[in-house]
Amino acid sequence: MKLEDLPTPALLVDLDRVEANCAAMSARAHRLGVKLRPHMKTHKCVEIGRLQVAGHFGGITVSTLAEARHFAAAGVSDITLAVPLAPARAQEAVSLGVNVLVDSVEAIDAIESASSTGGTPRVWLKVDCGYGRAGVRPGSESAMALARRLDDSPHVEFAGLLTHGGHSYDCVDPAGILAVAQQERDEVTQFADLLRDEGIVVTGVSVGSTPTMMHVDHLRGVTEMRPGNYALFDRFQAAIGSCTLDDVAVTVLGSVLSVFPDRAILDVGALSLSKDPGPTHVDPGCGFGRLLGVDNQPLSGLSLVGLSQEHGKVKGPGAPHLTVGDRVRVMPNHSCLSMACFPVVHGVRGTEVVAEWSPCRGW
């Protein structure tokens, strides 16, 4: 099948770029001397996940129990749910056998109750390394108490400390990302050392975001890293310096619906791109995606300035030169959200469609 045969909008993944991205991160993990436990949330596709784990121990990271079930059904046995566990879903997680993440007493209570009749789930303590989202502050009284509770519990195995340098996405260049990567590493490894000094056994230290793992200088004291977006990258990653635009492996294929003197309208709207505003802290006028031709080359003089549910509004001096029925590709600002909009993903090489995959859905 050719691209012109696909109904639009359609989600395209460039297999040459995905393979290159996965091979590069695999080699980087080996150079840094850590396990690679790649995140599946960007694509939620078993086929891409297999490329990510090649050459490593096979463990993965997920964000939902739906993802955990999907990959477990495909034969993956070492799965970490890297979102703090909701107590109401403790029994489900324990029954599934995933490694879980906590940052509260309530979650530990629920996991212990769920595992009391059998099984010893591996439990990570979530650490806030400066992102300010979930996680305990390293060295705080509450963090020490939760670590002791996990270490002493007869119903769980304390897997170690897990953190995520998500504030790397606020950076504007590789130098800023490197500083966050060093903070991410140092905050969690120093906390691990503090716990060990208190007699608490800490075997695992897990870090990772795609930006920080692309730029970190060393990972001494870390046992595993968990980047995920790198398999596809996106316009945001390129803007902050995690990759180049030529590394981005995902686009949305669309059609021109209408052309007017001041604008053109595409069938690529919020339900195929999301309304992620993109790297506005780097480029305030970035728009909702980068416009490309079917050949994946940039279309100059065009900007995707607005999105409604099923429509995208294109403006710029190049807009009147488009023709109704023309096909374009849009490089999304956020590949994770665009992937989540489509029930089917098309793997392409050049303009040839060579694969079709079904990502998992739900929570």
Cα(77)–Cα(113) distance, integer angstroms: 23
> With bands split at pLDDT 50, 70 and 90, how would you rate the model's confidence at 350?
very high
Average pLDDT, the chain: 97
8 Å CB contact between 90 and 108: no
Homologous superfamily (CATH) of 3-11+243-357 is D-serine dehydratase-like domain (2.40.37.20)
pLDDT at 148 over 90: yes
The separation between the first and the last C-alpha atoms of the chain, rounded to the nearest angstrom, is 33
Model's pTM, two decimal places?
0.96
CA angle in degrees (0–180, nearest 5) for 256-292-1: 75
User: What residue ranges do the domains of the chain occupy?
Assistant: 3-11+243-357, 33-232
> With bands split at pLDDT 50, 70 and 90, how would you rate the model's confidence at 117?
confident
pLDDT at 91 over 80: yes
Homologous superfamily (CATH) of 33-232 is Alanine racemase (3.20.20.10)
55: left (phi over 0), alpha (psi -120 to 50) or beta: left
Residue 124: the pLDDT is 98
Stretch among 81-95, 109-123, 273-287 having the lowest mean pLDDT: 109-123
134-144: per-residue pLDDT in tens?
999 999 999 99
287-316: per-residue pLDDT in tens?
999 999 999 999 999 999 999 999 999 999
Q: Could you give the angle at which helices 46-53 and 15-32 cross, rounded to 10 degrees?
A: 40
8 Å CB contact between 254 and 302: no
8 Å CB contact between 207 and 188: yes
8 Å CB contact between 155 and 108: no
DSSP annotation of 91 reads: H
pLDDT at 97 over 90: yes
Please state, for a pLDDT cut of 70, what percent of the chain lies above it: 100
239-253: per-residue pLDDT in tens?
999 999 999 999 999
Residue 176: the pLDDT is 98
